[in-house]
């Protein structure tokens, strides 16, 4: 059902995809769809993989505890590549939905808040270890990470310009290391 919803959201957009269409195409009774997800936004949350906040995921905790700053940046780039490959097309759907749906706008805002917090934690871990380049403050590092690791930059390079995931990951890793690490 979630894959059916993903397909419909990508084909039709959020506003033109109905629970009825998801129910029909997935051959699932509408009552079951509502029981499992409560709303179309609930389905979108499942499609976006937002069930577990990023900072609570084991791989993120392991990344933040890695003592080698270069490995931390490398791990972050790899994790982000995987995340973006799964969620970037749906992020664009959410941005479109947020223009007309208050609950979708709230979800987009919450995802952005969680993203900023995760990026701040990476910057903080590098700063506390003394790994930042001279002249780069923790806040500057968080801003650099925020800009370079954004869904928009991923979309520009991978979706719009046709970069492969490996190229994006290497670029992000190298650029973050160059911009942040001493």
- Per-residue DSSP letter, 181: B
Tell me the C-alpha to C-alpha distance, in Å, between residue 173 and each of 6, 69, 118, 181: 29, 11, 17, 11
In the prediction, which pLDDT does 131 show? 96
Q: pLDDT digits over 126-180, tens only?
A: 999 999 999 999 999 999 999 999 999 999 999 999 999 999 999 999 999 999 9
In the prediction, which pLDDT does 120 show? 93
pLDDT band with cut points at 50, 70 and 90 for residue 45: confident
C-alpha–C-alpha distance, residues 15 and 2, integer Å:
17
Closest by Cα among 17, 49, 12, 10 to 33: 17
Scanning the structure block, which residue is given the tokens 């002249």?
135
Whether 51 has a pLDDT exceeding 70, the answer reads no
In the prediction, which pLDDT does 129 show? 93
C-alpha–C-alpha distance, residues 124 and 107, integer Å:
25
Scanning the structure block, which residue is given the tokens 């993120």?
60
In the prediction, which pLDDT does 21 show? 95
């Amino acid at each position: 059902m979630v894959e059916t919803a993903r397909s419909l959201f990508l084909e039709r957009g959020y506003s033109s995809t109905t629970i009825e269409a998801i129910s029909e195409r997935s051959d699932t009774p509408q009552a079951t769809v509502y029981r499992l997800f409560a709303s179309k936004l609930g389905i979108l949350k499942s499609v976006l993989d937002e069930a577990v906040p990023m900072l609570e995921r084991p791989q993120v905790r392991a990344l933040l505890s890695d003592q080698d700053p270069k490995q931390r940046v490398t791990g972050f780039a790899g994790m982000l590549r995987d995340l973006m490959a799964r969620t970037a097309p749906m992020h664009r759907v959410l941005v479109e939905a947020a223009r007309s749906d208050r609950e979708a706008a709230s979800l987009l805002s919450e995802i952005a808040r969680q993203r900023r917090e995760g990026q701040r934690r990476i910057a903080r871990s590098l700063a506390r270890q003394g790994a930042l380049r001279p002249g780069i403050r923790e806040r500057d590092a968080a801003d650099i990470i925020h800009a370079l690791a954004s869904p928009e930059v991923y979309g520009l390079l991978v979706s719009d310009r046709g970069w492969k995931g490996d190229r994006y990951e290497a670029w992000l890793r190298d650029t973050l290391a160059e911009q942040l690490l001493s």
